A and B are shown apart, each in its own frame.
Chain A
Amino acid sequence: QSVLTQPPSASGTPGQRVTISCSGTSSNIGKNTVNWYQQLPGVAPKLVMFVNDNRPSGVPDRFSGSKSGTSASLAITGLQSDDEADYFCAVWDDSLKGWVFGGGTRLTVL
């Protein structure tokens, strides 16, 4: 059972907009910034959003992030087939005194 709650799956057709949510508590998302990672099959995770809503260089502007209260979201617009991957959220938890991750959301492009 992960500390951060993500839906196990999400899907969309090419060109659509999808949103992946990450729900936490006042000791993690409520107090600290959220980062998002994309993991393609068989490879290491890759940073796609940092400090809630900042895109690393090289990540398309189709990706955006937001945070409100104890929840955060990653949105992908203009969905493409190579967006198909697992997505994880991560945040520092003040109560657990460590980094915690969501269980991951498998995004399928139909």
Chain B
Amino acid sequence: QVQLQESGPGVVKTSETLALKCTVSGVSLSTSPYYWSWIRQIPGKGLEWIGYIYYSGSTYYNPALKGRVAMSVDRPLNQFSLDVNSVTAADTAVYYCVTVVAAFGDYFDFWGQGMLVSVAS
């Protein structure tokens, strides 16, 4: 059974870097047809896709986040990570790590439970 678990600080100061990790169990990061994504949700609001990463380390980020995002993989630990730099209050959200299935149309499949990250001044 595929499970994802986010971890990291629940509070980050304005202008600093938000850093989260996602530990994956039940499947290897290298398993086809999966690749890996981060999505966030402002409490009570809609969803925003942040970016995705392949096992190879290739990445693609939401252009709307203007280069503040970086993702990486840690193959031995079966983890992938998210960094968002220069955070503001607008980055306060629940952050989800998610599997993406590459099929005849890609889709988000398994989700972590989500982690609330608050940006404080």
B96 surroundings in chain A (CB, below 8 A): 44-45
A101 surroundings in chain B (CB, below 8 A): 46-49
Which residues of A24-41 are within 8 A (CB) of B? 32-33, 35, 37
B63 surroundings in chain A (CB, below 8 A): 96-98
Cross-chain contact A50 with B105 (CB below 8 angstroms): yes
What separation, in Å, do the CA atoms of A103 and B46 have in the docked complex?
5
Cross-chain contact B111 with A44 (CB below 8 angstroms): yes
Contact of A23 with B by CB under 8 A: no
Residues of B in contact (CB 8 Å), total 20
Q: Chain B interface secondary structure, helix, strand, loop or mixed? A: mixed
What separation, in Å, do the CA atoms of A44 and B4 have in the docked complex?
11
Which residues of A58-110 are within 8 A (CB) of B? 88, 90, 92, 96-104
Task: Return the contact of B113 from the options A32, A44, A52, A88 (Cβ within 8 A).
Answer: A44
A-B contact pairs, 24 of them (CB 8 A): A32-B105, A33-B104, A33-B105, A35-B108, A43-B113, A43-B114, A46-B111, A47-B108, A47-B109, A50-B103, A50-B105, A50-B109, A52-B105, A88-B46, A90-B108, A92-B106, A96-B64, A97-B63, A99-B49, A99-B62, A101-B46, A101-B47, A102-B46, A104-B47
What is the interface of chain B, defined by CB distance below 8 A to chain A?
46-49, 62-64, 96, 101, 103-109, 111-114
